[in-house]
Amino acid sequence: MKLDNVKHIGIIGLGMIGDSMAVLTTGHGYRTTCVARRAEMIPEYQKTYDMYFRQMIDQGLMPEKQLDICKKYVKYTLDYNELADCDVIFECVTENIGLKHDIYAKLENICTNLKVICSVSSSFVPDVLAEKATKFKDRIIVTHPFNPAHMVPFFELCGGAATDPAALQFAKQVLESLDRKPVILKKPAPGFIGNRLQFALWREALNLVESGICEPRDVDTCLNYSFCPRYTSIGIFEHFDNGDLRLNITTCNTVFPTLSNISEAPPAITDRIARGDTGARADSHKGFYDWNGVDMPAYRERVNAPYWKFIDWDMPKE
């Protein structure tokens, strides 16, 4: 449900995350101002914005007229001064700490009612983000999403040594009003929660292939048809609690010593990169798989399929 005390949301830095965030905020009826760095890119951002909504229309999640209603809530500009009365700002620029510090300095000079600056950074911890701030040091936090942010509900939030806990709680409330599922970390960690779990699994998947135990397709088949579907409705701690930890400890003690503990990317990745097989977008269209001739629209439909059910928003009516 839309918060009465949030009148204006700013988004700085468009592209994959920024465009998606604009869909999310305007789709919930929040007045949103998007600050672009270059005027010539604004038509592309508007095109992407429309595309995301048209995908929802195609899925039967909203009527055609809803796009025009939501577009009333978004504005694109190059002028930071138009963020002066923002309550919340999502900073979505590239991972350049100097650029981020410059942006926060501008906001300190311009904004009069800003309660929280939410960086979508995936690599910088809040203490680094806020180290040069003065006025807003206590309200610069990380709100890390997964792409696309308007479809994937999970956000992981964390603050730093100077963070006001009220800023974190307020950001959590804002994200909950956007139908997201935010969690607040007790302290920062590289990769936060999601990427630490994903890359722990990725490390062992690579180990299985490099050790000659199975092929990449076998790993993916396992994930598609064994435990991954379960974790869309229950959690891993729920699962192992329900299975009895006395059974779990035996498996831990048997399997843990055999798991990969490498600390850098293995040859399975580096050798492919060296020969130019960097994945679907490579000139060779090869990575672990050969993507030549693959129906990419159908692939993207499979990517999006699990997430459409989360788009059940109370969209603006006018």
Structure confidence at residue 93 as a pLDDT band (50, 70, 90): very high
The rounded distance, in Å, linking the Cα atoms of 75 and 235 is 39
Residue 316 is assigned to a structural domain of this protein: no
Residue 52 is assigned to a structural domain of this protein: yes
The rounded distance, in Å, linking the Cα atoms of 232 and 306 is 9
Nearest alpha-carbon partner for 287 in 299, 269, 312, 301: 269
Residue 123, pLDDT > 90, answer: no
| pLDDT tens readout for residues 28-84 | 999 999 999 999 999 999 999 999 999 999 999 999 999 999 999 999 999 999 999
The rounded distance, in Å, linking the Cα atoms of 292 and 270 is 21
CATH of the domain at 221: 1.10.1040.10
Residue 21 is assigned to a structural domain of this protein: yes
**pTM to 2 decimal places:** 0.93
Do 174 and 212 share a domain, yes or no?
Answer: no
Do 114 and 259 share a domain, yes or no?
Answer: no
Mean pLDDT along residues 13-34: 96
Domain with 30, as residue range(s), is 9-190
Q: Which of 190, 214, 231 is the last residue of a domain?
A: 190
DSSP 309: G
Residue 91, pLDDT > 90, answer: yes
Do 120 and 238 share a domain, yes or no?
Answer: no
Q: Do β-strands 88-91 and 32-35 pair in parallel, antiparallel, or remain unpaired?
A: unpaired
pLDDT at 144: 96
Residue 313 is assigned to a structural domain of this protein: no
Q: Which of 172, 190, 208 is the last residue of a domain?
A: 190
pLDDT at 293: 96
Do 231 and 91 share a domain, yes or no?
Answer: no
Q: Which of 160, 190, 220 is the last residue of a domain?
A: 190
DSSP 143: E
| pLDDT tens readout for residues 224-265 | 999 999 999 999 999 999 999 999 999 999 999 999 999 999
Residue 1, pLDDT > 90, answer: no
Residue 115 is assigned to a structural domain of this protein: yes
Residue 84 is assigned to a structural domain of this protein: yes
Do residues 88 and 171 make contact, with C-beta atoms less than 8 angstroms apart?
Answer: yes
Report CA 117 to chain centroid distance, whole Å.
16
- Radius of gyration, CA atoms only, the chain: 22
CATH of the domain at 37: 3.40.50.720
Please list, residue by residue across 18-27, b when 16 or more beta carbons sit within 10 angstroms of its beta carbon and e when fewer do. bbbbbbbbbb
Do 68 and 175 share a domain, yes or no?
Answer: yes
Do 210 and 112 share a domain, yes or no?
Answer: no
pLDDT at 49: 97
Percent of the chain predicted with pLDDT > 70: 100
Mean pLDDT along residues 157-183: 97
Mean pLDDT along residues 198-218: 98
Given CA atoms 48, 306, 195, 159 in this order, what sign does their dihedral have?
A: positive
Do 185 and 44 share a domain, yes or no?
Answer: yes
Do 135 and 256 share a domain, yes or no?
Answer: no
Nearest alpha-carbon partner for 129 in 159, 109, 155: 159
Structure confidence at residue 4 as a pLDDT band (50, 70, 90): very high
Do residues 279 and 287 make contact, with C-beta atoms less than 8 angstroms apart?
Answer: yes
Do 52 and 78 share a domain, yes or no?
Answer: yes
Do 182 and 198 share a domain, yes or no?
Answer: no
pLDDT at 130: 95
- How many structural domains does the chain have? 2
Do 166 and 114 share a domain, yes or no?
Answer: yes
pLDDT at 298: 96
Mean pLDDT computed over every residue of the chain = 96
Residue 215 is assigned to a structural domain of this protein: yes
Do 167 and 249 share a domain, yes or no?
Answer: no
Residue 300 is assigned to a structural domain of this protein: no
